[in-house]
Amino acid sequence: MAYTSTAKWFHWITVVLIAVALPTGFVIGHIKDASKMGFYTIHESAGLTLLIVATLRLWWRATHPVPLSPELPALLRFVADTVHRLLYAALIAQPLLGFFTTNAYGFPLRGETAYLGFIDLPKFMEANEGLANTLMMLHVWLGWTILLLLCAHIGGVIYHQAIRRDGTLIRMV
């Protein structure tokens, strides 16, 4: 069974946004010059857009079950399904963590780091350094977890493509 064009759009928009949010997240800490603010804006805007896309995608997915290949062994179906569910959960939790971290640091998305560069978002709390450090630690941890989940996901695609040769990748393009 083929994926619908809506499923494909959701999938590839998600890929592009992760490809922006994840690497920028990992490099921001190493940038010491004035371009750092631009990296924050790009990282945070891509991350929050991911939250919107992932939420819409989950809502859409609830009414449109994914056609996982029926001839796949039960164990592999379970693994693929679990990785997909964990990715959805992580893509919702990670932007929320990032968003509340910036607020807790007293660094809301306003002015120089407004959402998409020009949309000021409300400030949700007073600065609280202890809370900010805890949220940041979780954000870092979840960043690495997302990287691992993506490796598992891409590993699965390679397995389908190179070993089973069942055209799974082609179904998503």
Residues that bind ligand HEM (CB under 6 A): 21-22, 25-26, 28-29, 43-44, 47-48, 50, 91, 94-95, 98-99, 101-102, 109, 139-140, 143, 146
Indicate the residue type of 42. Answer: I
> If you write DSSP's letter for every residue of 46-63 in order, what string do you get?
HHHHHHHHHHHHHHHHHH
Contact 99, 112 (CB under 8 A): no
Q: Which is nearer to ligand HEM, 10 or 44 (CB)?
A: 44
Q: Residue 130 corresponds to which tokens in the numbers above?
A: 């202890």
Q: Which is nearer to ligand HEM, 76 or 140 (CB)?
A: 140
Q: Which is nearer to ligand HEM, 45 or 168 (CB)?
A: 45
Sequence-distant contacts of 33-41: CB under 8 A, at least 24 apart: 37/112, 37/113, 40/113, 41/112, 41/113, 41/114, 41/116, 41/117
Contact 15, 49 (CB under 8 A): no
Q: Report, in Å, the least distance between residue 130 CB and ligand HEM.
A: 16
Q: Report, in Å, the least distance between residue 129 CB and ligand HEM.
A: 14
Q: Which is nearer to ligand HEM, 94 or 168 (CB)?
A: 94
Q: Which is nearer to ligand HEM, 80 or 146 (CB)?
A: 146
Q: Report, in Å, the least distance between residue 115 CB and ligand HEM.
A: 8
Q: Report, in Å, the least distance between residue 71 CB and ligand HEM.
A: 33
Sequence-distant contacts of 56-60: CB under 8 A, at least 24 apart: 56/10, 57/10, 57/14, 57/88, 58/88, 58/92, 60/6, 60/10
